[in-house]
Amino acid sequence: MEITEITEFSEDLSGVSAGQVPDGDLVPMLQELQALQRVIAAVSADLAAEAETRSLYLR
């Protein structure tokens, strides 16, 4: 998922809190949220690994 896709998706979600999303649109949105969650987890893991590598390098 590209950064622009994440931005567009977060803009789409703005209607969810206001209850403006038709029920039929919720399943695709939840699938997108799960995909976004996987991206965030992968980035977090990469950052943690890089931090560990830098920590070992500085010792």
pLDDT tens for 8-26 read 666 666 655 556 666 677 7
* All structural domains of the chain with their residue ranges: 32-59
pLDDT category of residue 3 using cuts at 50, 70 and 90: low
Nearest to 31 by CA among 4, 51, 39: 39
- Given this model, what pLDDT does residue 40 score? 92
| CB neighbours of residue 37 within 10 Å | 10
